[in-house]
Amino acid sequence: MASGAALVIAIAFAVAACLVRFGFFKSVVEGEISANRFHAIDGLRGYLALGVLLHHVVINEQFYRTGTWELTPSRLNTFVGRGSVAFFFMITALLFWGRVIEGDGRIDTLKLYVSRVRRLVPMYLASAGLLIATALALTHFRISAPLADLVSQITSWLLFTIPGMPDINGLKQTSLINTVFWSLVYEWRFYLILPFAAAIASVSRAWAVAVGAGLCIALFSATQIEWFFIGGCVAAYFVRVKAVQELSVGPTGSFVALACIATTALYQPLTYSPLAAALLFVPFLIFAAGNSLFGLLTCRPARLLGLLSYSVYLLHNWVLYLVSRMVNHYTAVAGLSPVRYWALVVPVVLATVTLSALTYRFVEYPWIGGIGKENRLRRWRRVH
């Protein structure tokens, strides 16, 4: 798996290194570099999206051998996927609870939800639309279910799968076309709870909110995945402490972060547990406080992949599904040697990153950038 991971990262970084040198993407990345941001977190997103991609590539190979889409025996691969999702959840909590802290417990709820719709919905609808179109194409566009049922099935997918993930038009295992949508349900739950948690924190101590949330998670959560949101909220406090920032930067912070990640991968491979959340809180805080992991998190290709991470996350499984299905039509994927299987992965990574660059530019950015960012880009180009 190590060589496969190196291949995935090398291909993605090669494409990103080319894109970030010119035009639009150069302007956006340079703008982020000059802004007041969590710079290491910007690059971390890119590695996390690639981690989920790698996780699914390995599961996909097992699926074609066993017919079952499930975690592989590889503890490392399980951690790479689940750990990446865990870090994504901590990033969400860090950024948005940080807004609560800066607003002294107040948050503009309408602005919050408008921004989340603009950020999440357009690219999600594009991705869900690809899944729906693929399912209809694979059933030859012949309606095989009652029309009302078909409308209900499609609606469920368009609503972030909150109502469920039904098969579309009789296509069995429709969900395998894209298996990542489930995590967005947790994101939306966090956004729905955030204004209420902020209101409670504004009239009482924030630790009381954390304790109450922790008790609810421990008693009622089936997955225990919500602990990572708690970790991100706690990090939002500590990252503002100067002593934490000073201790986090430098080689010592990098080695401590790597040690905690390795410990989690070795001893908490299923990842979604309170202990794993505590272990991963340490490297996350170190990165959020400014540690760039020897520059790996702040180099320009990593920053660009961070920009593309939402599209990479939403598109990679669809690309993997189509490429694998096409190859399997001509030669059994289950019978491929490891070398030939990873050769199949090359076009998957190339197509995913390239397509993600296009969707970021033409689907995501017009909604999250708006006129203000477009004007800043034009000014940057005139100066440079």
Rounded Cα gap, residues 185 and 198, in angstroms = 20
| Cα distance between residue 177 and residue 254, in whole Å | 37
Does 126 map to a domain? no
What is the Cβ-side half-sphere exposure of residue 274, based on CA atoms within 13 angstroms? 9
CB 367 within 8 A of CB 119: yes
pLDDT of residue 378: 53
343 within a domain of the structure (yes/no): yes
Which candidate, 105, 352, 63, 71, places its Cα nearest to that of 236?
A: 105
What gap in Å lies between CA 203 and CA 197, rounded to an integer?
10
- Domain containing 257 equals 2-97+186-383
Per-residue burial over 209-236, b if 16 or more Cβ lie within 10 Å, else e, is bbeebeeebeeeeeebbbbbbbbbbbbb
Per the domain annotation, does 304 fall within a domain?
A: yes
Position 207 scores a pLDDT of 78
164 assigned to some structural domain = no
pLDDT (tens digit per residue) in 109-132: 999 999 999 999 999 999 999 999
Share of the chain above pLDDT 70, in %: 95
CB 217 within 8 A of CB 227: yes
Q: Rounded to whole angstroms, how far apart are CA atoms 259 and 254?
A: 9
pTM, rounded to two decimals: 0.94
48/308 Cα distance (integer angstroms): 11
Q: Is residue 318 part of a domain?
A: yes
CB 59 within 8 A of CB 70: yes
Q: pLDDT, tens digit, for every residue of 186-243?
A: 999 999 999 999 888 876 677 777 888 889 999 999 999 999 999 999 999 999 999 9
CB-based contacts of 349: which residues, under 8 Å, 6+ apart? Answer: 7, 8, 11, 12, 53
pLDDT of residue 203: 61
127 assigned to some structural domain: no
What's the CA gap between 193 and 109, in Å, rounded?
A: 11
Taking only the tens place, the pLDDT of each residue in 307-329 is: 999 999 999 999 999 999 999 99
H or E element that contains 364 = none
| DSSP code for 360 | I
Domain count, the chain: 1
Q: Would residue 220 count as lying in a domain? A: yes
Look at residue 104 and tell me if it is in a domain: no
Residue 3's pLDDT band (boundaries 50, 70, 90)? confident
